[in-house]
């Protein structure tokens, strides 16, 4: 039996939601073995769209929801990095996971945060399963560069080869680390904080687990390999749909897209 990897995915409604969650993320996770998928909708209810796609997977999964209040969402006039995204949802996933493991008296496995629009190589999950406490690896297309990666010296993380704020204790994207469930349970207060700006959520969480960068175990061939890509799916162009909607027509009426 292989140890489980609990994967927390925040997700919100948009035209690309189903195709991202299904064809990119769920298909990858179903090939990966040993995954328990925790999907947390940014919504005041569980949608049938997400319930349907989850029920079609062969994965053990948990379907949760928690809405981000309007005042915590980025407003159209605010700049791109104004507010962090997915914070309440990741914390809700953590709450469920800790409760579940406590009730089962179980501390086996790993935790990884997989946003719903990234690209994941299957080898990433094998790397995660070699972690003792906390692992770290390169992430492509994050922080405005081709690849952000840890800087190693004698096999230890001593800094970050990144362009955006390299002095952070953890200059790593959400997709660039995973931790053991044991560590998560040893630090029951560790979580994300909405008051931390985007780009500082990771540092806040990893520090709250009592970690320093030198504690991070380098994965993906000593951080020389890219196994995850911080992609962003292009929004489809729906200008004519909007015009149709104004005259009472809707091309996806009665259909799930
Ligand atoms: N997300 C969310 N609610 C929002 C915006 C984003 O739950 O209002 C989720 C989204 O589905 C993704 C994660 O939070 O899993 C990060 O968001 P996104 O990919 O848009 O941000 P990025 O870090 O790529 O800029
Ligand atoms: Mn993203």
Q: 1, 3, 8: which is closest to 191 by C-alpha?
A: 8
**89-145: pLDDT as tens digits:** 999 999 999 999 999 999 999 999 999 999 999 999 999 999 999 999 999 999 999
| 202 given a catalytic annotation | yes
Give residue ranges with CB within 6 A of ligand 1. 9-12, 42, 68, 73, 85-86, 89, 115-117, 232
How many angstroms does the Cα of residue 99 sit away from the middle of ligand 1? 25
Q: What is the pLDDT of residue 39?
A: 99
pLDDT of residue 188: 98
As a whole number, mean pLDDT of residues 171-192 equals: 98
pLDDT at 80 over 80: no
Q: Report whether pLDDT(61) > 80.
A: yes
- Compute the distance between CA of residue 38 and CA of residue 59 in angstroms, rounded to an integer: 10
Distance 174 CA to ligand 2 centre (A): 9
Closest residue (by CA) to atom 2 of ligand 1?
86
The model's pTM is 0.98
Provide the token pair at 15.
Answer: 């035209």
State ipTM. 0.99
Ligand nearest to the CA of 93: 1
SS (HEC) of 170-185: CCCCHHHEEEEHHHHH
């Amino acid at each position: 039996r292989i140890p489980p990897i609990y994967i927390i995915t925040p997700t919100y409604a948009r035209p690309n939601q189903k195709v991202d969650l299904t064809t990119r993320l769920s298909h990858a996770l179903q090939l990966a073995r040993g995954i328990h998928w925790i999907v947390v909708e940014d919504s005041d209810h569980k949608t049938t769209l997400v319930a349907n796609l989850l029920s079609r997977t062969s994965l053990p999964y948990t379907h949760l929801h928690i809405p981000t209040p309007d005042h915590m969402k980025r407003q159209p006039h605010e700049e791109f990095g104004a507010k962090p995204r997915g914070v309440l949802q990741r914390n809700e996933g953590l709450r469920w996971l800790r409760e579940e493991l406590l009730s089962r008296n179980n501390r086996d496995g790993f935790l990884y945060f997989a946003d719903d629009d990234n690209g994941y190589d299957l080898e990433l999950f094998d790397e995660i399963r070699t972690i003792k406490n906390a692992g770290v690896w390169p992430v492509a297309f994050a922080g405005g560069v081709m690849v952000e990666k840890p800087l190693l010296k004698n096999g230890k993380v001593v800094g970050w080869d990144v362009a955006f704020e390299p002095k952070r204790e953890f200059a790593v994207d959400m997709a660039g680390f995973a931790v053991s469930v044991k560590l998560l349970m040893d630090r029951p207060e560790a979580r994300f904080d909405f008051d931390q700006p985007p780009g500082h959520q990771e540092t806040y969480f990893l520090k709250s687990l009592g970690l320093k960068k030198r504690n991070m175990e380098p994965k993906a061939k000593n951080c020389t390999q890219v196994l995850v890509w911080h992609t962003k799916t292009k929004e489809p162009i729906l200008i004519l749909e909007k015009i149709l909607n104004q005259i009472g027509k809707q091309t996806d009426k009665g259909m799930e897209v």
